[in-house]
Structure 1
Amino acid sequence: MGAALAQVEYTYEVSGGGFGFMMIFYLLFIVAMYVFMGFCLMKMADKTGTPNGWFGFIPILNFWLMVQIAQRDVLWFILLLIPCVNIVILIIVWMDIAAIMGFENWWGILMIIPLFNFYVMYKLAFTEPY
């Protein structure tokens, strides 16, 4: 009846370079933020005279350092290790840290805002209260 239609096959070459670049950038960003947070905790420990400021760079020990800076009991450290409870406890600990550093308590509440919390940590670690 008619001429057969030719089947044309298309191949698109896709490179994984974009995804790889994105993952490397993401990894470098995460590492930089972790080092920044550890350095800020170390500076806060130095300002308050808390020993072992280098604990800020070690994953579980940074909770211990925060509890020490906030001058809280060991129970608060244990509560920080309990899922869901740790969110509330972390806010209270940051409120205490802000007060001890000479700032208003609400600076600790601002730690729950993503990306803004890096500014809060910088402010607490490197600036003087008004």
Structure 2
Amino acid sequence: MAFWLIAIIIAIAGTWKVYTKAGKPGWACIIPIYNLIVLLEIVGKPIWWFLLMLIPCVNIVFVIWIYNRLSKSFGQSEGFTVGLVLLNPIFMCILGFGNYTYLGPGGTPPNYGAGDYERPYDINS
């Protein structure tokens, strides 16, 4: 039981740091339902997507999609998305405690289009 408690605390700490890096309150990761709404804001998807998370089988597709957008928001590739899906607590800790910066929803920096930022890749392709 102590092992599970430690694992849960580490997972919460990693998610807390990810939320903080994205400019959202860290405590939001421990509030049920609200944590998904904040995660949708971080990845730049509409809040009504929360309703899609309630539909069986459809929610699996949308969770993977959200994790892909989360990895893109921190400048990572699809390989990191696979890690988020399969080993979520570990990869959330890597994002939270690692040297990754939040680029904006889906990897779009806030000042993109202002002419002073050059994107190394196109996330829309």
TM-score range for the pair, normalised by the shorter chain length: 0.5 to 0.7
- The structure richer in helix per residue is 1
Deviation at 1:79, TM superposition (A): 1.3
Identity of aligned residues (%): 28
Which has more radius of gyration?
Answer: 1
Question: Are residue 43 (structure 1) and residue 17 (structure 2) matched?
Answer: yes
CA distance in 2, matches of 1:84, 1:124: 27
Task: Give the aligned length.
Answer: 101
Q: Indicate the residue corresponding to 1:118 in structure 2.
A: 89
Q: Indicate the residue corresponding to 2:67 in structure 1.
A: 94
Q: Which runs of 4+ in 1 moved over 6 A?
A: none
**TM-score in terms of structure 1 length:** 0.65
CA distance in 2, matches of 1:86, 1:128: 30
Q: Do the aligned partners of 2:68 and 2:81 also contact (CA within 8 Å) in 1? A: yes
Structure 1, residues 56-103: CA drift from partner, whole Å, max 9, x if none?
012222222221211211122221222221111111111111111122
Deviation at 1:38, TM superposition (A): 2.5
Give the 3-state SS of the residue equivalent to 1:65 in structure 2: helix
The structure whose RCO (Cα within 8 Å, separation 6+) is larger is: 2
CA distance in 1, matches of 2:10, 2:54: 22
* Structure 1 letter corresponding to 2:35: N
Unpaired runs of 5+ in structure 2? 101-125
**TM-score in terms of structure 2 length:** 0.67
Q: Indicate the residue corresponding to 1:11 in structure 2.
A: none
Q: Do the aligned partners of 1:63 and 1:80 also contact (CA within 8 Å) in 2? A: no
| Mapping of residues 29-68 of structure 1, within 5 Å | 29-50=3-24, 52-68=25-41
Q: Do the aligned partners of 2:67 and 2:85 also contact (CA within 8 Å) in 1? A: no
Superposition CA RMSD, Å: 2.2
